Structure 1
Amino acid sequence: MRKTMRPPPARASSHASSAVRAFPRCIGPVGLGAKRPRRRGASVWTTNASFPARGRHLQGARMAVTDRALKRVLSLRDLAVIGSASMAPAYSLAATLGLMVAAAGYDAPLALLMLCVPMTLVAFAFGHLVRAHPSAGSSYAWIRMAFGRGVGSYGAWTLLCANFFATMATAWPAATYTLALLAPERTPSAFVVGLVAMVWIVAASALLYAGARPTAEVSAAMLAAEFAVLGALVVAILLHPSVAPAHAVLRSFHHTGFAGVLGAAVLSIWVVDGWEASAASSEERLGASREPGLAGVTALAVTAVALALFATVALRLGTVDGYAKHSADAMEYVAQQLGGGLWLRVVAATVLVSSAASLFTTMLYLSRSAFAMARDGVLPRRLAHVHPRLGTPDGAILGMLIVTVISTGLAGLSPSVNVALNAIVDASSVFLGALFVLSALACAAVFAPHARGLQRLRTVTLPLLGALWLGAIVVYGVVGADGVQRWIAASGLILGVPFALLRRGAAGVAVAEEAA
């Protein structure tokens, strides 16, 4: 049931309908009428409120609202679009379908569905957390709330690494397909691709600076075009003579066995990642606190089913060896099998649009996360600045722009475009998997002390099951990776320890919301 909020003080900005309060790890209620003095340089505000223990819905109260609140502009549709566009359906298929088929043969769609089960459990865990504790920091904020500032800072490092590499992993394909459309007869160097990728990152940052709503609108148009082309491809493939055996797609483990399916499931993490971007926009929503979680689950379900359907249909067009040989761009192979020509240009344009839309929404996720971390003192507090008119975290947007542009330029020094992109994607997958596991564990830890009966099943047992299932897949992927991939994963995870020790931050802030 929606609970009525008492009006904020007159000095609050007009767009800020949320309120914030200090909380020491969000454990235990704050006494009714308790006052907390504002500390210089810290994101802590005096409040008169009654707050629940962790895991319970927040109660309405009169609070002081600061100018650091983000502008509320996103509807449920906008949140779902952000989650689905961030998953980049066309680009995900282009980058991973060939690798998945090489690993699992005609069982690649089964591997995708196998990964979707624990991912759905994690998505529901996100939904429970964002409904009770909405925060732009999403995973980072919940890990911090559940396990304390030290582990929370490690979660911040993991989230930054995951989305930092994911931003680069979408900017590079956008640059590659841009050059392919403009000069198809040339093979660009990694340096040239890096320069164009930096231009795309600057363009995405400019759109984000204008606001979350313009970003959602542009992403919605791109996503609609993307699904329209994928639908047209499905029809064209079904009308084309089949190459695969009639029973191949329906027969389990016929090609590489269960080990191959597990390997493809690891690759599927990259395919279904992105839905969680809607949770990072929870402080910018227009509706109830349940909407970001509902949008994330909807985006995951709809997009994953569409991807599995397309993969199943596409496998009747080509062979396992054909997809394996074209693992760098499986969508190009599909277009070639349909006759090439116009299909090649349409598919290239679609993957470009998909990469661009994912870049926009991934940078939105990254900037909101950095904003929340800066608000808590984990990152420099200048990154917590909010534009007074637009209501966007312009400090975090500019900071993440500088870091990603410099890193993309350094990646351009790689001797090969494919070498650079593969290293980026591999690193991103490991950090994403670790972040999902930590988030699901945080859900169980937050709700365990108070949940009973069916609520305990939903908020504790199922998230734990999802964490264990997904964690096993991630560990299998790391153990089975080559030396370079293991070195990247281990280095990134180990470097998070000194970061967590040095950047613990101050007592965090929570956004008081209407529970619904």
Structure 2
Amino acid sequence: MSTVTRSDDPPAAAPGKGLRPGSVGLLASVTLGLSSVAPAYSIAVTLGFVTVVAGDAAPAALLLGFVPILLTAFAFRELNRELPDCGTTFVWTTRAFGPIAGWLSGGWVVQCATLIAMTALARIGATYLLGLLGLTGAAGNGAVVTAVAVLLLGGATVLARRGLQLAAVVQYALLGLQLLALLAFGVAALAADGATAPSLGWLNPLGFDGFGPFAEAVILCLYIYWGWDALITANEETVDSARTPGRAAVLSTLVLLATYLFTAFAAISFAGVGSEGAGLGSPENAADVLATLAPAVLGGGLAKVVQLAVCVSAVSALLTCLVGSSRATLSMASHGALPGRFARLHPRHGTPAFGAAFFGAAAAVVLVLLTLLSADFLGDAILSVGLLIALYYGVTGLACVWYFRRTLRDSARHLLFRGVLPLAGGLMMIAAFARTARDMVDPGYGSTSLGGVGGVFLLGAGSILLGAVLTLLARARFRPFFRTGRDSVAGPTVKDH
């Protein structure tokens, strides 16, 4: 049975929604944040493309791409300290800009990006798993890969429904394997005969051949860091929910930066940035630089460990996506912005079981449909996620400034961490959104086009337009939220457990 409560003077922290408080510590939060990024997978499939664009300035691109991510992390930290709600961007954007912006940017855009990313993660995990099992023929069969990917989605959904403690234990092992594999690869690459000495010049922000390559490389790097914010959705289950998730967000982004820079320096030292042979500048190697370099660096046996690390990287990120999305929709439902069934918790495990099952099933359906359409269509859908990321990160940074606007003069700390840094991060993300949208219009961007317009742009912009239409439908369906949500969203308006 549902009960409805409203408050014109919401508390600083939202009352509990039935989740288990204090069940996640700082280490588990950082692990969830890192796992959601899939560091081994992300560096494997992104470093080559960045190097093709930036050459030996690839580490500089990684560093510059990290700047708006760090600034956005400060916005997440400050907003979570004030409003520790598992709805995160949905709650914060609603409080700052109103229910329409909150539902569209903080709700739909985030979940749409996550859903598309889940299809990619499941497919990559399935492909690597089949390869590890020696089933190379099956790994090249789209139907078999899709079937295995659906099974992986099912297994991750079961784990997500069981609770954060079990998910965190699994993530410790999976993340540990990823980081150890990357460390072993990096050390071996730097110590290999013929490897060149790393140069600080590779971090030179002026080493790009014009603004175009600079912007393209930095935009590519935004995707490589995306996902750490999933840890914030576990804030109501975290020890010291007002502070621990924010600290974990900043710490996880710094660990990612160190991991990526170390791997990039090692790979460039070993292979160089040439466009032939094993060079990182070769388009043939760009899709997976670790698969290309690991056998030469580590030998066949240990190269399998790196391959396994990339596989579990994708699977662990898949699990974290399910954990984060189910909690975000739990918050939206508890505030009256989604059907009450999303707010129901598992009677034994105390998890948003319906939300986890919904997103697991939805990802499976989307994966099958995109695969049936074409592999090119699926690839362009994945590329379009960058547009969605830049939008909701940018809006969140601006929401932080607007929400705290009356307190920015209270102290130098407030001015810096609630004003200057989030504003800079938000504007950078909006600029990245505009630049990415302009580039995606080109029919040569990605693999598909329609009417002379790039398919990646149509998918990205179409996702946002569809979200706007759904927001209007939601406004008609959930009138109380859209009427009073800006004032009442700090406390649940609907409970249906």
Name which of 447, 470, 473 aligns with 1:502.
Answer: 473
Structure 1 length-normalised TM: 0.84
Q: In 2 relative to 1, CA 365–242 (structure 1 residues): closer, same or farther, beyond 3 Å?
A: farther
Q: In 2 relative to 1, CA 255–126 (structure 1 residues): closer, same or farther, beyond 3 Å?
A: closer
Name which of 432, 454, 457 aligns with 1:486.
Answer: 457
Confirm or deny that 1:126 pairs with 2:57: no
Name the SS for the 2:247 alignment partner.
helix
Segments of structure 2 that go 5 or more residues without pairing to the other structure are 446-453, 493-497
Q: In 2 relative to 1, CA 336–448 (structure 1 residues): closer, same or farther, beyond 3 Å?
A: same
Q: In 2 relative to 1, CA 441–251 (structure 1 residues): closer, same or farther, beyond 3 Å?
A: closer
Confirm or deny that 1:331 pairs with 2:290: yes
Q: In 2 relative to 1, CA 276–251 (structure 1 residues): closer, same or farther, beyond 3 Å?
A: closer
Is the contact between residue 205 and residue 398 of structure 1 (CA under 8 Å) also seen in structure 2?
yes
Q: Which residues in structure 2 correspond to 1:47-66 (within 5 Å)?
A: 51=10, 57=12
Is the contact between residue 384 and residue 457 of structure 2 (CA under 8 Å) also seen in structure 1?
no
Is the contact between residue 126 and residue 148 of structure 2 (CA under 8 Å) also seen in structure 1?
yes
Residue of structure 2 equivalent to 1:188: 140
Name which of 237, 250, 261 aligns with 1:308.
Answer: 261
Confirm or deny that 1:260 pairs with 2:240: no
* 1: CA distance, partners of 2:473 / 2:132: 46
Mean CA deviation greater in 480-489 or 181-190: 181-190
Is the contact between residue 179 and residue 188 of structure 1 (CA under 8 Å) also seen in structure 2?
no
Name which of 165, 169, 173 aligns with 2:124.
Answer: 173
The letter of the residue matching 2:5 is: V
Name the SS for the 1:316 alignment partner.
helix
Name which of 391, 403, 410 aligns with 2:362.
Answer: 403
The letter of the residue matching 2:435 is: Y
Q: In 2 relative to 1, CA 480–42 (structure 1 residues): closer, same or farther, beyond 3 Å?
A: farther
Is the contact between residue 108 and residue 261 of structure 1 (CA under 8 Å) also seen in structure 2?
no
Q: In 2 relative to 1, CA 275–445 (structure 1 residues): closer, same or farther, beyond 3 Å?
A: same
Q: In 2 relative to 1, CA 442–185 (structure 1 residues): closer, same or farther, beyond 3 Å?
A: same
Name the SS for the 1:480 alignment partner.
helix
Confirm or deny that 1:286 pairs with 2:225: no
Q: CA deviation at 1:104?
A: 0.8
Segments of structure 1 that go 5 or more residues without pairing to the other structure are 1-39
The letter of the residue matching 1:356 is: V
CA RMSD in angstroms, aligned pairs only:
2.3
Confirm or deny that 1:135 pairs with 2:85: yes
Q: CA deviation at 1:470?
A: 2.1
Confirm or deny that 1:199 pairs with 2:151: yes
Q: CA deviation at 1:270?
A: 1.3
Name which of 401, 404, 410 aligns with 1:447.
Answer: 404
Q: CA deviation at 1:456?
A: 2.5
Name which of 476, 480, 483 aligns with 2:435.
Answer: 476
Confirm or deny that 1:428 pairs with 2:400: no
Name which of 163, 168, 176 aligns with 1:224.
Answer: 176
Mean CA deviation greater in 296-305 or 448-457: 448-457
Name the SS for the 1:432 alignment partner.
helix
Is the contact between residue 122 and residue 152 of structure 2 (CA under 8 Å) also seen in structure 1?
yes
Name which of 161, 167, 190 aligns with 2:112.
Answer: 161
* 2: CA distance, partners of 1:490 / 1:421: 16
Q: Which residues in structure 2 correspond to 1:264-279 (within 5 Å)?
A: 264-279=217-232
Name the SS for the 2:126 alignment partner.
helix
Mean CA deviation greater in 131-140 or 343-352: 343-352
Mean CA deviation greater in 147-156 or 186-195: 186-195
* 1: CA distance, partners of 2:329 / 2:377: 25
Residue of structure 2 equivalent to 1:147: 97
* 2: CA distance, partners of 1:147 / 1:304: 32
The letter of the residue matching 1:172 is: R
CA offsets, 1:229-261, max 9 Å, x none? Answer: 111111110111345687573666556444212
Q: CA deviation at 1:83?
A: 0.5
Residue of structure 1 equivalent to 2:424: 465
* 1: CA distance, partners of 2:40 / 2:154: 23
Is the contact between residue 447 and residue 456 of structure 1 (CA under 8 Å) also seen in structure 2?
no
Is the contact between residue 208 and residue 214 of structure 2 (CA under 8 Å) also seen in structure 1?
no
Q: CA deviation at 1:272?
A: 0.6
Q: CA deviation at 1:78?
A: 0.9
* 1: CA distance, partners of 2:333 / 2:49: 38
The letter of the residue matching 2:103 is: S
The letter of the residue matching 2:401 is: A
CA offsets, 1:494-513, max 9 Å, x none? Answer: 1121112121332354259x
Q: CA deviation at 1:164?
A: 1.0
Q: CA deviation at 1:224?
A: 1.0
Mean CA deviation greater in 147-156 or 292-301: 147-156
Q: CA deviation at 1:120?
A: 0.6
Structure 2 length-normalised TM: 0.87
Q: In 2 relative to 1, CA 253–145 (structure 1 residues): closer, same or farther, beyond 3 Å?
A: same
Confirm or deny that 1:88 pairs with 2:38: yes
Identity of aligned residues (%): 30
Name the SS for the 2:490 alignment partner.
strand
The letter of the residue matching 2:57 is: D
Name the SS for the 1:85 alignment partner.
helix
Residue of structure 2 equivalent to 1:18: none
Name which of 11, 19, 22 aligns with 1:70.
Answer: 19
The aligned length equals: 459
Give the ranges of 4+ consecutive aligned residues of structure 1 lying more than 6 Å apart after TM superposition.
Answer: none
Structure whose residues are more often helix by fraction: 2
Q: In 2 relative to 1, CA 450–195 (structure 1 residues): closer, same or farther, beyond 3 Å?
A: same
Q: In 2 relative to 1, CA 343–411 (structure 1 residues): closer, same or farther, beyond 3 Å?
A: farther
